[in-house]
Amino acid sequence: MPAAFSEGGIYNNVATITKIHGKTGLSFKITVHCGYDELYRKRRHYKTYRPPATWSEQRAEREAQRVAVEFENSIRQGFRLDNRKTFAEYAAYVIDLKAHTGTKHSTIELYKHLCERINPAIGHFKLTEIRPQHLNRLYVSLAEDCIKHSADNARAKVDLGALLAERKVSRAALSRQAKLSPSTVTAACRGQTIRQASAEAIASALSIPPRDLFDYFHSEEKLAVKTILQHHRFISAVLSQAEKEMLVTYNAASRATLPKARRSKVNYFQPEEITAIVQAVESEPLKWRLITHLLLVTGCRRGEIMGLKWDRVHLDKHYLTIDNNLRYSKARGIYEETPKTGETRYISIPAETISLLREYQSEQEQLRKLNGDRWRNTGFVFTRDDGRAMHPDSITAWLAKFSKRHGLPHINPHAFRHTVASVLIANHTDVVTVARQLGHSSATTTETYYAHLIEESRVQASECIADVMLRRAIPSDTTPQPPPCPVDNQRSL
């Protein structure tokens, strides 16, 4: 039965609609009565409906009736559509909920960072007010309308490396004292751009006024589509939780229009580049030779390499257990968490790697004896001189210095991972095995990420079949040539 209209609010069945002529125009207050509480007070839920100013009163009343019926039905089904929670309030609740139910610290930090851009745009909206068009406008503005990745940046105006040498302060010591990653300190010493907050931390650690060390400037960049999609996924997670808790009837993010992401081709090393790296690293300290070797043969992420512990190294059985990831954040410093997908994987390693591991284990044992009581027994394979865990950024910083020292192009540690994938795919390893080696959540992820390599490998396979089955009788000078190996097709560095 439809709800009744009244200037004073006549009760009719369950819903009441009160027509209000106010300063802002016509509006309707909808009240749904739901019995009594334990103190015999009436339970009421409220909703205000404001029709467009151009509508006639008759049309507005018909629409108010429809809204009232919809509101009443949702209340009967258990929804609390009159809740006053704003998106910002509820997002904070969801982040806290996820933090207490096992979501990784790095993910929680990302959520908080995303809220810094999301809340100014939709944080003030009640959950029930959010519509797909609000999110569409947000995504467009993130991409185009000056809601940009803006930051106050800094660049050293003095020779910071010379200053550290004069004060006999190592970069590692400055990194620890300023609570910054080694790569940030290295960038500052090279005169590269760093964040203002990082510059101030360095200045504070050196007890020098920041303006005496750094020039500040403001930069603005448009957000990448990948970053905008991160915002969308977080908003969707928040509204999905609200839907589960029956605070909204549907997830508005599921109906939003998303920007299309262009997947860039992955960067991997060519055979001659791998040879150059292997030859150059032979003159480096054993620890860094082993780290580079593991990057080359395992395809592990840098945090998984730095998080490796001796009880996960099975020298006699020639395999590693990958179940730990070393991370860094300003809030927690260096900490451990599970790998990206949260799953344990087992990676076979060749005899050459086993030999290096045994040699390095002996070297580390000698270092432990030299340190005596100063040694921290953390169990990590790769440690500082006193046994403590190394900073996960150390690999990136060392590879940058290593490539410069040997006249090699800049080396990104993730390129080793892509190289392992490209070699496996080029040698027709099945996608499921490649996914397991890399620690992808599913083979679909691998197929999406390395689609062009997989397609090239399939073409090669078909050409191989044709060579065996069809072309043996064809003269060699007329035989079509298969395309070259995909590892030789692209330049990556």
Cβ neighbours around 3 below 10 Å, total: 24
Q: What is the pLDDT of residues 196-247, one digit of tens each?
A: 889 999 999 999 999 999 998 876 667 888 899 999 999 999 999 999 988 8
Domain ranges of the chain: 4-76, 87-147+224-255, 149-221, 271-410, 418-488
Fill in the DSSP letter of residue 86: B
Span 455-481, average pLDDT: 62
Of 77, 135, 398, 419, the C-alpha closest to 257 is 135
Half-sphere exposure of 343 (CA within 13 A, CB side): 12
Architecture of 87-147+224-255 per CATH? Orthogonal Bundle (1.10)
Three-state secondary structure readout of 373-441: HHCCCCCECCECCCCCECCCCHHHHHHHHHHHHCCCCCCCHHHHHHHHHHHHHHCCCCHHHHHHHHCCC
Quick one: 149-221 is in which CATH superfamily? lambda repressor-like DNA-binding domains (1.10.260.40)
Provide the pLDDT for residue 82.
Answer: 55
Provide the pLDDT for residue 70.
Answer: 84
Q: Check residues 376 and 466 and name the one with the higher pLDDT.
A: 376
pLDDT bucket at 11, cuts 50 / 70 / 90: very low
Structure tokens, 277: 């790296």
Structure tokens, 312: 């996960």
Provide the pLDDT for residue 442.
Answer: 83
Provide the pLDDT for residue 296.
Answer: 92
Give yes or no for residue 493 having a pLDDT over 50: no
pLDDT bucket at 462, cuts 50 / 70 / 90: low
Q: Which of 56-60, 67-71, 352-356 has the lowest mean pLDDT?
A: 67-71
pLDDT bucket at 95, cuts 50 / 70 / 90: very high
Inter-CA distances, 121 with 42, 88, 117, 141, 247, Å: 37, 10, 7, 9, 21
What percent of the chain shows pLDDT beyond 90?
A: 50
Query: pTM of the full predicted structure?
Result: 0.65
Span 64-68, average pLDDT: 90
Distance CA 103, CA 111 (A): 11
Structure tokens, 66: 């429809």
Q: Check residues 292 and 152 and name the one with the higher pLDDT.
A: 292
Q: What is the pLDDT of residues 246-272, one digit of tens each?
A: 888 889 999 999 998 777 677 888 889
Provide the pLDDT for residue 88.
Answer: 96
Fold of 271-410: hpI Integrase; Chain A (1.10.443)
Of 301, 299, 298, 296, the C-alpha closest to 319 is 298
Give yes or no for residue 305 having a pLDDT over 80: yes
Distance CA 451, CA 440 (A): 14
Strand (E) or helix (H) holding 195: strand 194-195
Q: What is the pLDDT of residues 154-212, one digit of tens each?
A: 999 999 989 999 999 998 899 888 988 888 898 899 888 898 889 999 999 999 999 99
Indicate the average pLDDT of the chain: 85
Span 36-46, average pLDDT: 73
